[in-house]
Amino acid sequence: MFGVEITGLGIYVPSRKITNFDLEKIMDTSDEWIYQRTGIKQRYVVENGISTSDLALAASKIALEEARRKGVKDIDYIILATNSPDYLIPSTSSVLQGKLGISAGTLDVFSGCTGFVYALIVASSLIKSNLSKNVLLVGAEAISKYLDWQDRTVSILLGDGAGAFVLSQTNDKDKGIIDSNVGTDGTLAELIYIPAGGTKKPFDKKSLEEREVYIKMQGREVFKKVVSILPTEIKKLLDKNGLKPNDVDLYIFHQANIRIINTVVETLEIDKSRVYNNIEKYANTSAASIPIAFYEAYMNGLVKPGSIVLFSGFGAGFTWANVLWKI
């Protein structure tokens, strides 16, 4: 049995910053209204002509350079979690592979904002089973392209960005995933979705006119569902592994809404010093939010060898996933 270690990290966000004050000029909202309800102050949004694979490429180059300095020579798989692919066909991981010019298998994980945590489980399983030595794992989103800027309930929440891990095999079997749990409730698929563009309702003139090509979300129902499920699932995972909430050194939650995160933290009585949040700066970057947050926490010295981290994601599907990880 092998362990998994993080040998490279990288993030990238676009240069175009949009503050809440900027949004005040184009919709009926205010900085105070947005911040009190979400914890968001600003977000980064791609310029025209920039796609998800461009953001993924920039973050990947940083992570790969760090990994190469540590002796990683080859990447066996590229796994990319996204909800804003460059194309419906082919996979965005394939596009990324072409831009990187490296020989590797490719796989997209398309599982809402939970996607990066699911992808982390898949990548780690490939390495622990000795089917792969090194995996480039990326969460990347140019999700602003799916926003209806006339709909303040959704457009204020999301931002663009990318985060990348290089995961490598190690003989230290204690490193990497300790345990995980996952779940889905597909009866709630329409809590967060884009009505048109798939095989159920292909793009046409009517769907464009009725603005069905943009993300729709039932925010209150999402909030209620997350805060009812997540604390229970996290406690199950901790109990199974003989851990109490404050035995975990660092919590990295999907950065969806600060009220959701705070509710989960308070329910589990987690010491807030063990939770890293950056939603104020980046908003909800969907599948990119967890790797971006972990990168910053790592760079701020919040973890060290032997630290236990809990990655927790939730989102469209309706999906959720938690991973206990040992650095």
> Which CATH number do you get for residue 110?
3.40.47.10
Could you give the CA distance from residue 214 to residue 281 in angstroms, rounded to a whole number?
23
Could you give the CA distance from residue 265 to residue 274 in angstroms, rounded to a whole number?
10
Residues 70 and 215 in one domain: no
Provide the strand spans (E) within the chain: 3-12, 17-19, 42-44, 77-81, 105-109, 134-141, 161-170, 176-184, 192-193, 216-217, 250-253, 308-315, 319-326
Residues 47 and 76 in one domain: yes
Residues 42 and 145 in one domain: yes
Neighbours of 18 (CB within 10 A): 18
pLDDT of residue 208: 87
Q: At what angle do helices 31-38 and 258-268 cross, to 10 degrees?
A: 30
Name the burial class of residue 174, with classes exposed (0-12), middle (13-18) and buried (19+) by CB atoms within 10 angstroms of its CB: exposed
Last residue of a domain, one of 172, 198, 220: 172
Q: At what angle do helices 92-100 and 52-69 cross, to 10 degrees?
A: 50
pLDDT of residue 265: 98
Residues 269 and 189 in one domain: yes
The total number of structural domains that make up the chain = 2
Could you give the CA distance from residue 37 to residue 78 in angstroms, rounded to a whole number?
36
Residue type for position 283:
A
Residues 168 and 187 in one domain: no
Q: Give the DSSP letter of residue 26.
A: T
Residue type for position 200:
K
Confidence band of 24 (pLDDT split at 50, 70, 90): very high
Residues 188 and 108 in one domain: no
Closest CA to 120 of 303, 319, 325: 325
Residues 247 and 120 in one domain: no
pLDDT over 90 at 308, yes or no: yes
Closest CA to 52 of 121, 136, 138: 138
Residues 168 and 181 in one domain: no
21 to 74, 145, 285, 307: CA distances (angstroms): 45, 20, 19, 39
**What is the domain range of residue 48?**
3-172
Residues 20 and 127 in one domain: yes
In this structure, which long-range contacts are made by residues 97-102, counting pairs with CB atoms below 8 Å and at least 24 apart in sequence?
99/53, 99/57, 100/57, 100/60, 100/61, 100/64, 102/74, 102/75, 102/78
Q: What does the pLDDT average to over 104-115?
A: 97
Task: Note the pTM of the prediction, 2 decimals.
Answer: 0.97
Last residue of a domain, one of 124, 153, 172: 172
Q: Tokens representing 62?
A: 């940083």
pLDDT in tens, 220-246: 999 999 999 999 999 999 999 999 999
Q: What is the dihedral of CA 244, 246, 251, 254, to 10 degrees?
A: 60
Show which residues are catalytic: 113, 254, 284
Last residue of a domain, one of 172, 189, 224: 172
Residues 302 and 190 in one domain: yes
Neighbours of 5 (CB within 10 A): 18
Residues 246 and 100 in one domain: no
Residues 133 and 193 in one domain: no
pLDDT in tens, 79-99: 999 999 999 999 999 999 999
pLDDT in tens, 26-64: 999 999 999 999 999 999 999 999 999 999 999 999 999
Query: Across all residues in the chain, what is the average pLDDT?
Result: 97
pLDDT of residue 210: 87
pLDDT in tens, 141-168: 999 999 999 898 999 999 999 999 999 9
Residue type for position 160:
D
